[in-house]
Structure 1
């Protein structure tokens, strides 16, 4: 009988530890550059900052995709380095037809997304996936510059601004 009680207690402890670990993972992932599931909402934000402020945007390279085997007419694959000063803003923009991957090299930055009612915190070493349906703006609310690498599929419009968001 004592062995049975000890076994039951041990199973309970293992299940409790597993639940605690899983809860920690879920909370950590929600705070690791994603909107918490209970804060997701279509139209949570409809606007934000509209002008860049304190941002140095350097286009590192582009590839004209209409000349590659993928043959995406009027598109370029672009990689940029963005340096956002404290208080700096990457203005409101859409990824409706411009998928992107954003790698945070250094610093911490907040994203204000159309589908999230709370700011999303991104930290160095994380990647943010930007795709159709996302409209957002970013702000450096910290005291040190933030450095991002952004790779996106960008419209190759005549005389397009290579720094356009």
Structure 2
């Protein structure tokens, strides 16, 4: 009876240690680099990027959030292409890199963040950023965001 209890306690301690640790997730700002970054001389115009809305939902009709749409977009950023600086004030988004890789320059990170295929970027209040494809193949992204109607 005593031995199984010790095993359970040891297993629990190991599990707690495993889950309590804060892993460095791929495609995120390293914890020691999270700080204000003014992104001086950021690009303001798109270059070599297509941005197609695949679908959208009127959130007013669905859940009572007036003048907002939930939309899904497909972006293809060619090598050297730029998604210009923009803010996510009142416009949260999740972006998955479907193929290729792309570099994000974020207002809350001192170093560039590389997003590889399969990685998700969370964009929310307080984030301003731009993206550049520094690779040799197109980067394909799917973006789900909440957007105010124009």
TM-score, length of structure 1 as denominator length: 0.75
The one-character-per-residue Cα deviations of 1:45-94 (angstroms, maximum 9, x if unpaired) are 355111100001111001111111x1111100010000000000000000
**Is 1:51 equivalent to 2:45 in the alignment?**
yes
Higher Rg = 1
Q: What is the total number of aligned residue pairs between the two structures?
A: 132
**Is 1:38 equivalent to 2:32 in the alignment?**
yes
In structure 2, C-alpha distance between the alignment counterparts of 1:57 and 1:123, rounded to whole Å: 19
Q: Do 2:36 and 2:110's aligned partners in 1 also have CA atoms closer than 8 Å?
A: no
TM-score, length of structure 2 as denominator length: 0.82
In structure 1, C-alpha distance between the alignment counterparts of 2:78 and 2:143, rounded to whole Å: 16
In structure 1, C-alpha distance between the alignment counterparts of 2:76 and 2:125, rounded to whole Å: 25
Mapping of residues 125-140 of structure 1, within 5 Å: 125-140=118-133
CA apart distance, 1:26 = 3.8
Q: Which runs of 5+ in 1 are unaligned?
A: 1-17, 158-165
CA apart distance, 1:44 = 4.7
Match of 1:9 in 2: none
Match of 2:142 in 1: 149
In structure 2, C-alpha distance between the alignment counterparts of 1:40 and 1:128, rounded to whole Å: 15
Q: Which runs of 5+ in 2 are unaligned?
A: 1-16
Match of 2:114 in 1: 121
Larger strand percent: 2
Q: SS state of the match for residue 50, structure 2?
A: strand
In structure 1, C-alpha distance between the alignment counterparts of 2:128 and 2:93, rounded to whole Å: 12
Q: Do 1:44 and 1:117's aligned partners in 2 also have CA atoms closer than 8 Å?
A: no
Match of 1:66 in 2: 60
